[in-house]
Amino acid sequence: MTDSKLQIERILSGDQTAFRALVEEYQRLVSHIVFRMVSTKEDREDICQDVFMRIYQNLGDFRSESKLSTWIARIAYNACLNHLEKRKLVPLEELNSPEQSLENFLERHKRPDEITEEKEVGALLENEINRMPATFRTILTLYHLEDMSYTQISEVMRLPEGTVKSYLFRARKLLKDRLKLKYQPEDLCH
Amino acid sequence: MSLKHLNDEEIQEYLDGNLPAQDRTMIEEHLERCPVCQDSLKQYRYLYDGLTKEEGFDLSNDFAKTVISRLGIETQTKPRFNYFYVLLAFLGAVIGVATIIRFIDMKSLGVTIYETIQPRFEFISVFADSVKNALLILNGNAGLVIVAGLALAFLATVDRFVLKPKYRRVSF
Ligand SMILES: [Zn+2]
């Protein structure tokens, strides 16, 4: 029996300490997804709480053919989608066809002479990521921050693997181009 | 060395580490001699570093505790409360009945009840009969009922203070 399977059995048999350990192990993953998907600060912690309550209530349905982290990320992603749809915080067309809204993004930010106020490259990058559609932001986070594979991301977001890969590559090219407008390679010292 | 510059996809695949050894070598050979692609690689590498940095927001320190107590409120306290108060009510009833039995002349009460009920409701005379018999028996043994009440009170105390933590764990 794997560690996570054993942990789940303990939680299902009523072991509160085991559930606490699970929360502490995965709260970083959940908070990253919620951070990328939901921009209203005051809602984020509540959503994270709801996510873990759903995890607890549905733990009996977890099938070990996928990784526990993938399953948890999927619950978090769905909770965020529900929240965005319910609050109408993100235009529905962005959730349904993120590709379209990336095109809009490119349209809006064509001018190379645009004055950006960010002083640091990190802040500029953060700002550019935040302007992207939620789908692109989440893929970037799952891949780079959570070290998930295309397969895992496609399970979390219910997107074909090819789409995940193409979104990831396009998002990175876009961000690189945005950084290039502002900074010459020699500024990016290492 | 190929004459064409590396495209964005090749550079990203290279940085992702997803390329077979042969392709890696080709890309590295090109990069060694091409400042344009070196710049592009440098920009991408910078971007990758930024994307790997810890971002997000801090959950409150007692986040796990809050989740657990929210789950607790919804799944555990309600049934506990009902169960305990049902037990208390039952105990009260037993003690009340025992007290009444101790101080009242049950024999004549039983006879009175019987005589009132019997003529009006012929069809429940069998039931009234058994009520009468029960009351007559209890009148002689009121002490027994009180002992039973005390035993129940003892069990309730044990349940409340000894078994309760166990229930909590199971129902959580
Ligand atoms: Zn080149």
Sign of torsion over alpha carbons B69, B74, B75, B80: positive
- Do residues B62 and A24 lie in contact, with contact meaning Cβ atoms separated by under 8 Å? no
Matching fold, domains A3-87 and A101-188: no
Most A CBs within 10 Å: which of B15, B51, B167, B169, as the mutation test of the A interface? B51
pLDDT digits (tens, 9 = 90+) for A104-161: 776 666 555 554 554 566 788 888 888 888 899 999 999 999 999 999 999 999 999 9
- Do residues A157 and A138 lie in contact, with contact meaning Cβ atoms separated by under 8 Å? yes
| Number of neighbouring beta carbons within 10 Å of residue B24 | 14
Q: Residue B92: what residue type?
A: G
ipTM, two decimals, is: 0.84
pLDDT digits (tens, 9 = 90+) for B106-134: 777 777 877 776 666 666 667 777 777 77
Contacts of A140 in chain B (CB under 8 A): 51
Q: Report domain extents, chain B.
A: 8-51, 79-124
Task: Give Cα B77 distance to the centre of its chain.
Answer: 8
The CA distances from residue A153 to A72, A163, A167, B31, in Å, are 12, 10, 12, 31
Q: Report domain extents, chain A.
A: 3-87, 101-188
What is the C-alpha end-to-end distance of chain B, expressed in Å?
66
Q: In which element (H, E) is residue A117 found?
A: none
Give the SS3 label for residue B21.
helix
The answer regarding whether domain A101-188 maps to CATH 1.10.10.10 reads yes
Verify whether the Cβ–Cβ distance A172 to B170 is below 8 Å: no
**Alpha-carbon distance A1 to nearest alpha carbon in chain B (angstroms):** 23
Residues of A within an 8 Å Cβ radius of B: 14-16, 19-20, 23-24, 27-28, 31-32, 35, 41, 44-45, 48-49, 52-53, 56, 121-122, 125-126, 140-141, 144-145, 169, 172-173, 175-176, 179-180, 185, 188, 190
pLDDT digits (tens, 9 = 90+) for B62-84: 999 999 999 884 444 444 556 77
- Do residues A160 and A154 lie in contact, with contact meaning Cβ atoms separated by under 8 Å? yes
Region A3-87: CATH code: 1.10.1740.10
CA-based R_g, chain B, Å:
41
pTM equals 0.67
**A15's tokens:** 């072991």
**Alpha-carbon distance B4 to nearest alpha carbon in chain A (angstroms):** 19
Q: Tell me which residue of A112, A84, A114, A87 sits closest to A96, measured CA to CA.
A: A84
Q: Residue A90: what residue type?
A: V
Q: Tell me which residue of A118, A110, A107 sits closest to A182, measured CA to CA.
A: A118
- Residue with the two structure tokens 């959730």: A95
